[in-house]
Structure 1
Amino acid sequence: MTTAGIDAVEIRTGNLKLDLAETFAPVKDEDPAKYTKGLGLHASSFPDAYEDIVTMGANAAKRLMDRKGLTPEDIGRIDVATESAFDHSKPVSTYIAGCLEDVFEDDFHHANKGERKFACLAGTQAIDDAVNWVTSGKNRGRAALVIATDTALYERGDSGEATQGAGAVAMLIDEDPDLTVVEPLQGFGSADETDFLKPNQQFPSVDGKRSMQVYLARMREALRDLEEQRDLHPDDFAVVPFHIPFPGMVRKGAALGYRHISRGTDVEDALAEEIGPQPRPDDFEDDEAFRDALSEYTDDLTETDRYQEWYDLTVEPTLGISRYVGNWYTGSVHLARAAALRDARENGRDLDEQQMLVCSYGSGAQAEVHIETVQPGWEEEIAQLNVEEQLRERYDLSFTEYEQIHDVHNYDESTDIDAFTTPEEEFVFDGWGRMGERKYTYVE
């Protein structure tokens, strides 16, 4: 049986940085701890005036292809996942392919190109599609590029403003991958929800409290769906990457997930001696009383040494990049995977043949939980990432400069300012074409 999964990964941050504690909090007259401890965020990544979802995606894809020694002939599929698209017809994948064709000698005329949309879940859905394409044999020996790219901006003054971010994650999906095999088992939780949406508008309308509830409800459903296919146990998984709207939200998702998959296991039995057994619906007269008891149990659970040790080992390392770049929408969970692998390599943790439980989510709303197996050789692949260098080299914005660059990327504003950084060996936005299309060039 053909195995397929993620063979390589590249990350591209926006070239600008907004420090939440030092720059954002003072202007908002807020305690910096609201962001660094409450949200779990220290900085946001922003695109400069010449950057957008195309340049970030194309730059990540080019670096991936260069270091893997690939040409366009090796790529049979290009899928872009985004919720920041600027055209309702022409997919972002065609723009990115056009950029890459300008620097490679061949073209992608025989590659299937598309654009995936389901809020933050679309990147995982695009991986699913690409894996199915590879394992079906339709790939004819070629690999797929999956690119998750977003500018996750909110209207200024919105409660979600501090969680903003911008960047791209490019992944090569191929047979016998070097990073992770995507296993066939999947669990889904899906419902028609209006927790977060953009009805013909750039910036989202968000019901924050509802969105958190929906996130957890859909994740619970997805875990139940996966459990119908195989037994789950907290100790089965070395890494548990979640979608990260902000790290504080992951703390809630992780507690729910641990509680759920430890139910009926030796873990619950061991914890019962300390905090009692998990509440069961049949033990209560009504649903409200059950939920209150479950909430109290979950609070107690997160205070136990057993849970905290599990969280520190399997979840905390997934947050190492997102804390300094913010929410990347479709790229968020894929940043989490890369961050965990990077942390494992730096700390000498052996993940060969270990499993991940990847927990993806998109508002509107759907969660997907699937299993990936880390492949021998993952350390060599993950060592190629240069994300630390990118983070160090970002331009540190003042608040006034932040307001200016926010206006540049606001489709309803017409703002012309000089770039804060000088592009070098990267694709850049280069103005408008005759039909209103965006034009790009590569700067040596």
Structure 2
Amino acid sequence: MQVGIDKIGFFTPNKYVDMVDLANARNEDPNKYLIGIGQRKMSVADQTQDAVSMGINATLRYWNKIEQDKVGLLVFGTESSVDQSKSASLFVKTALKMKPEVRTFEVKEACFGLTAALMIARDFVRVHPEQTAIVIGSDIARYGIKTPGEVTQGAGAISMLIKSEPKILALNDGHSAYSQDINDFWRPNDHSTALVEGKYSTQVYLDFFKKTFDAYKEEKGWNTQDFSAIIYHLPFTKQGLKANRIAIEDQDERTAERLMTNFDASKQFSMQVGNIYTASLYMSLLSLLENAELSHNALIGLFSYGSGAMAEFYSGNVIDNYQRQLDPEGDQALLDRRSKLSIAEYEKIFNEALELPADGQELVSDDEAGYWYFARTQNHVRIYKQK
């Protein structure tokens, strides 16, 4: 029995900052951001969008296309949680009016969260093949105004339906994992923005990639040339490029060209949205599926990394006619609806979003009708509405 990804939903807020504008405002050469970091735009979340609302909106992209009564598990991966106790998934469950029997909870390990959720869901479906599972990764990457990490911010969510006999990607048995207690990136309880040792984090990411990639190939008895594409968690696209260069070292020209071409396809959404933590790897997957030409049963390698640090390499095979399950026009429309912010507008929205509105203060979304948003707290309980 095959188990894997059957549906993918994507969401990002309706505002963005252009990297050329940001570079000019910070007295930097724009090419430092465009080429050195590999970013063009960065989605910005205002007070009305948080991990929960984005997760609801991502799931709604396919919710009415599935057998809703078969969903038996909902797992939410995030490092932008809205509550220290209550799971973000319960807000989603209520918004979508899921049946009360659905098992639901939240997981956290930096950017690894959605991969953890996916593996839990895969094993759940293997034991309960008549049921399906929904996994969500939703995050807002914030480092602060005029900080070194500012250019690697972003906001967005990916939601996926996991089921037996999937129609997009069948997950293969086995994985390679590697973890170590380090401080390359973290956010203490008293901080609203993350702390990061950028150069150290990049080196750990690359070291963990090499360890897990080599171990996975040895476990499976495969070679690099067996992969049609290798995709990566992308805190910024240049970091994935560095890992991909390691992957194609000493490979024949045909293999190197194929893996580089497909990496370029996988980074297109990230270049427009920025870092979305737990969902970044799976935004890479969606970008690959919509922008590359993949043959039936093409082998895709996936490298997941969460600072602190946890890494895993695993793989899947694309299903014939997977394109029928995608919505590239809808994804492009989602990006196109965004309005460009001036740097002054961006800074104002950024700082406002760090503050919780006064209890009872009503917020109004300026996004399109149909999208969910954070409306207020009432007696310190978060209230979400659909516009």
Q: TM-score, normalised by structure 1?
A: 0.83
2:348 to 398, 404, 411: 404
1:202 aligns with 2:208: no
Alignment of 1:98-247 (within 5 A): 98-101=94-97, 107-137=98-128, 141-200=130-189, 201-247=191-237
Instruction: Work out the CA distance in 2 between the residues paired with 1:122 and 1:368.
Output: 11
Instruction: Work out the CA distance in 1 between the residues paired with 2:59 and 2:305.
Output: 24
Alignment partner, residue 38 of structure 2: 40
Alignment partner, residue 290 of structure 2: 342
Conserved? CA contact 2:363–2:376, under 8 Å? no
Runs of 4+ that moved beyond 3 A: 305-308, 411-414, 416-420
Letter in 1 for 2:205: Y
Cα distance per residue 1:221-249 (max 9 Å; x no partner): 21232133122322211121101010111
SS at match of 1:240: strand
Cα distance per residue 1:399-420 (max 9 Å; x no partner): 1110111012214797x99868
Conserved? CA contact 2:217–2:223, under 8 Å? no
Q: Which has the larger radius of gyration?
A: 1
Letter in 2 for 1:110: E
Instruction: Work out the CA distance in 2 between the residues paired with 1:41 and 1:413.
Output: 31
Instruction: Work out the CA distance in 2 between the residues paired with 1:257 and 1:98.
Output: 43
Letter in 2 for 1:87: D
Letter in 1 for 2:192: Q
1:63 to 58, 61, 64: 61
Report how many residues are paired. Answer: 385
Cα distance change on mapping 1:332 and 1:65 into 2, 3 Å = same
Instruction: Work out the CA distance in 1 between the residues paired with 2:164 and 2:119.
Output: 14
Instruction: Work out the CA distance in 2 between the residues paired with 1:428 and 1:14.
Output: 10
Instruction: Work out the CA distance in 2 between the residues paired with 1:312 and 1:258.
Output: 8
2:308 to 356, 361, 364: 364
In the alignment, structure 2 segments of 5+ residues that lack a partner are none
Bigger drift between 178-187 and 420-429 goes to 420-429
Instruction: Work out the CA distance in 1 between the residues paired with 2:9 and 2:80.
Output: 20
Letter in 1 for 2:7: A
TM-aligned CA deviation for residue 78 of structure 1: 0.6
2:281 to 311, 322, 333: 333
TM-aligned CA deviation for residue 384 of structure 1: 5.6
Cα distance per residue 1:239-260 (max 9 Å; x no partner): 211010101111111122233x
Cα distance change on mapping 1:38 and 1:381 into 2, 3 Å = same
Instruction: Work out the CA distance in 2 between the residues paired with 1:431 and 1:14.
Output: 18
1:92 aligns with 2:91: no
1:79 to 75, 81, 86: 75
Conserved? CA contact 1:19–1:42, under 8 Å? yes
Alignment partner, residue 431 of structure 1: 376
Conserved? CA contact 2:228–2:258, under 8 Å? no
TM-aligned CA deviation for residue 306 of structure 1: 5.5
TM-aligned CA deviation for residue 314 of structure 1: 2.6
TM-aligned CA deviation for residue 354 of structure 1: 0.8
Instruction: Work out the CA distance in 1 between the residues paired with 2:150 and 2:263.
Output: 25
Task: Calculate the aligned-residue CA RMSD, in Å.
Answer: 2.0
Conserved? CA contact 1:407–1:413, under 8 Å? no
Conserved? CA contact 1:11–1:385, under 8 Å? no
Taking every aligned residue pair, what percent have the same amino acid on both sides? 29
1:31 to 29, 32, 43: 29
Conserved? CA contact 2:87–2:106, under 8 Å? yes
Bigger drift between 111-120 and 228-237 goes to 228-237
